[in-house]
Amino acid sequence: MAIRLKTADQIEKMYASGQIVREALDRLGEIIAVGMTTEELDAEAERICQAHGAACLFKGVPGRGKAGPFPGAICVSINEEVVHGIPSKRKILDGDIVSVDFGVELAGWCGDAARTFMVGQVDPDVQKLVRVTAHALELAVEHTRPGGKWSAVARAMQDYVRSQGFSVVEEFVGHGIGQGMHEDPKVPNYVSKELCSRDISLRPGLVLAVEPMVNLGSRKVRMSDDGWTVVTTDGKPSAHWEHTLAVDEHGVRVLT
């Protein structure tokens, strides 16, 4: 792995990017409502990004296979959609959960975060799913400390999620971030033999986009026909939360 540690000045630049992401997600949380389309959410996030002179990280990312470039500023995934959902004229319904992933680049440095919003009267078990996923991210913030190993953080997240009766998605993980949206290392939300054999040392200057994705049912996922949207194989809901975190000498700083 070619992990690039960041200087204090570089982390400040990433914090500036992260605050645009935070502002956009805060705003989407204020306006999201039954009957709104996901295109409307996308337009508002892009407006905020452009108002700050930043660029939307996801827009135009090349697709794989027959999938074209990603057309949206945000990834917006509803209910059984796990990640990478495409904004469209689809209307948000009462009881939906809507996961929004957003990233920007400002002055050459990136920020990336995600939240799952509950709209209207959401079933109690799905409310619990959203809360548990958010708390898994909080555990990552709590356990990420200089001198530690990522496997210990991943174990805390994994064990908590499983103790609540849910499953951790394994096909998609977090990542390093900096001048590129995706840098080394890969940052799993679960413990594997690969992670244990090539563990990540939590050193000052390490910046990670940590993003637990948690399913109500089976952990298994599949790609939908559009070549972008990942969905649960059993059709049950999934939640997604993410922060960009910077390790420093004292602990961890949430940049988003």
Reported as a single tens digit per residue, the pLDDT across 56-86 is 999 999 998 889 999 999 999 999 999 999 9
Q: Determine the pLDDT at residue 66.
A: 83
pLDDT of residue 44: 98
Task: Output the domain CATH number for residue 225.
Answer: 3.90.230.10
At 41, list the tokens: 């959410």
What pLDDT does 29 receive? Answer: 98
pLDDT at 64: 87
Per DSSP, the residues of the chain read: -------HHHHHHHHHHHHHHHHHHHHHHHH--TT-BHHHHHHHHHHHHHHTT-EESSTTPPPSTT------SEEEEETTEEE-PPP-SPBP-TT-EEEEEEEEEETTEEEEEEEEEE-SS--HHHHHHHHHHHHHHHHHHHH--TT-BHHHHHHHHHHHHHHTT-EE--SS-EEE-SSSSSEEEEE-SS--HHHHHTPPB--TT-EEEE--EEESS-S-EEE-TTSS-EEETT---EEE-BEEEEE-SSSEEE--
Within-domain flag for 175:
yes
100/242 Cα distance (integer angstroms):
10
The reply to whether 111 falls in a domain is yes
If you average pLDDT over residues 12-25, what whole number do you get?
98
Please, are residues 103 and 58 in contact by the beta-carbon 8 Å criterion? yes
Please indicate, yes or no, if residue 41 is contained in any of the structural domains. yes
Inside any domain, residue 2 = no
Q: What are the pLDDT digits (tens) for 133-160?
A: 999 999 999 999 999 999 999 999 999 9
> What pTM does this model have?
0.97
pLDDT tens, position by position, 171-219: 999 999 999 999 999 999 999 999 999 999 999 999 999 999 999 999 9
What pLDDT, on a 0 to 100 scale, did the predictor assign at position 227?
96
In which domain, by residue range, is 215 found?
8-254
Q: Looking at the 3D structure of the chain, how many domains does it have?
A: 1
Percent of the chain with pLDDT over 70: 100
Average pLDDT over the chain, rounded to an integer: 97
Is position 110 within any domain? yes
- Is the predicted pLDDT of residue 236 greater than 90, yes or no? yes
Q: Judge whether residue 243 has pLDDT over 80.
A: yes
Would residue 3 count as lying in a domain? no
